[in-house]
Amino acid sequence: MSSDSTAPLNVGVVGIGWAGQQHLAAYKNNPDVRVAALAGQEPEMLAQLEAEFSIPATFQNWEDMLASADLDAVSIAVPTFLHEPIAVAALEQGIHVLSEKPIARNTAEGQRMVDAARKAGRVLDVAFNHRRRGDIKALGGIIDGGELGRPYYAKAAWLRRRGIPTLGSWFTNPELAGGGPLIDIGVHVLDYALHLLGEPGVISVSASTFSELGPRGLGGGMRYNASGTSHKYDVEDFSSAFLRLDNGATLVIEAGWASYRAAEDEINFTVLGTEGGAELRVVGNPSPEIGEIRVFKDQDEDVADYELAANPGGAHQEVVDDFVRIVLAGEEEWAKHDGSIALNRARIIDACYESARDQKEVRLA
């Protein structure tokens, strides 16, 4: 790790797929960063990105990158089973870590990452970019401002008609991915929902998972089909969970890669409060930057509903910029960002899978 934390940060990126490219582009736009190294398994894409982003050192193996490059921070944008070994190795070398979601395949791996961050005194952050959406922020503003009163019921979902990602790839192998849509896109739903509700604790979960289309080779669609497949379909393709919260509220989440529903993807959030309600719907594939937000209120016993305007959010750029800001802020700030929120999400996801497997409610507190 370089010794002068006030100089531009030397950053490495592991992974050259879509997520890795989002990190590279965001780092390029940040004046406090120098992308010093890139690691990836596909030689042609590695060479293309090396040239596009003027990266001085590239590696096929992440181990070689950590051993050879002088890095302050690293982004991890690779299949989920690699998050824990790369993060722990980097943290043990004193390198700050920004990982793609989910934090890991399960709570145990996530806990090892958090423990490594705390022991090293370094930042461990996880890229929950959907909470950075402008419409999520706008909705959060009226909830936090008390306009809806006390939220007591909420439901949130990310649903696809035919959206199993790369059918037959690592995404559909639980040993590599940790699960199906619940851990893949459902963790985003869980994150933005709990974030909007003010981070209540989860007392218990009761969940169901279904695998009805994927094992039959259905539900991939043109956008998500793999060019070549090597794994069986061994995960769910739809999930639903009922969460009891420690403030007396209830949260229902759904995550589905494939089901017989409307053709376009939908991301949504509905909340009922004591003084009003609200609904966010983001419909389209790819998701539009701004969804439709409706607020439901009464005034003098008359309906006073309205639509709430929002600006586009910051997506991965904001995730990366915040990570860089935290790293540059120094040790007092580092201790506040040890991956705990992402680990909390992993515990809840694990409990949902346990509940679905054993067909019972699982208590977390």
CATH number at residue 121: 3.40.50.720
Which pLDDT band holds residue 4 (cuts at 50, 70, 90)? very low
Range of the domain at 19: 9-129+316-337
Decide if 353 is inside a domain: no
Domain tally, the chain:
2
- Residue 3: pLDDT above 60? no
Residue 342 lies in a domain: no
Using pLDDT thresholds of 50, 70 and 90, give the confidence band for residue 226: very low
Q: What is the DSSP letter of 167?
A: T
pLDDT, mean of residues 286-301: 95
What would the mean pLDDT of 65-76 be, rounded to a whole number?
97
Is 108 inside a domain boundary? Answer: yes
Per the domain annotation, does 213 fall within a domain?
Answer: yes
Domain assignment of residue 350, yes or no: no
Q: Is the pLDDT confidence value at 7 over 80? A: no
Residue 362 lies in a domain: no
Same domain, 305 and 325: no
Assess whether pLDDT exceeds 90 at residue 180: yes
Tell me: do 145 and 260 sit in the same domain: yes
Q: CA–CA separation, 187 vs 208, rounded Å?
A: 15
Mean pLDDT, residues 77-94? 98
- Based on the fold, state whether residues 61 and 178 are members of the same structural domain: no
- What are the backbone angles phi and psi of residue 125, rounded to the nearest 5°? -125, 155
**Which residues neighbour 156 within 8 Å (Cβ) at sequence distance 6 or greater?**
189, 190, 192, 193, 251, 252, 253, 254, 268, 269, 270
- Could you tell me the pTM of the whole model? 0.95
Q: Are 102 and 146 contained in the same domain?
A: no
Buried b (16+ CB within 10 A) or exposed e, 222-256: eebebeeeebebebbbbbbbbbbbeeebebebbbb
> Are residues 122 and 19 part of one domain?
yes
For residue range 237-267, list pLDDT tens digits in order. Answer: 999 999 999 999 999 999 999 999 999 999 9
Give the pLDDT of residue 223.
57
**How far apart, in whole angstroms, are the C-alpha atoms of residue 287 and residue 313?**
12
Instruction: Give residue 222's pLDDT.
Output: 60
Q: Kindly state whether residues 267 and 294 are assigned to the same domain.
A: yes
Does the pLDDT value for residue 78 go beyond 70?
yes
On average, the pLDDT of the chain sits at: 95
Asked, for residue 19, whether it belongs to a domain, the answer is yes
Which whole number is the average pLDDT over 57-81?
Answer: 97
Q: Is 300 exposed, middle or buried (0-12, 13-18, 19+ CB in 10 A)?
A: exposed
63-88 average pLDDT score: 98
Asked if pLDDT for residue 82 goes beyond 80, the answer is yes
Q: Supply the pLDDT for residue 269.
A: 98
Q: What is the mean pLDDT of residues 307-325?
A: 96
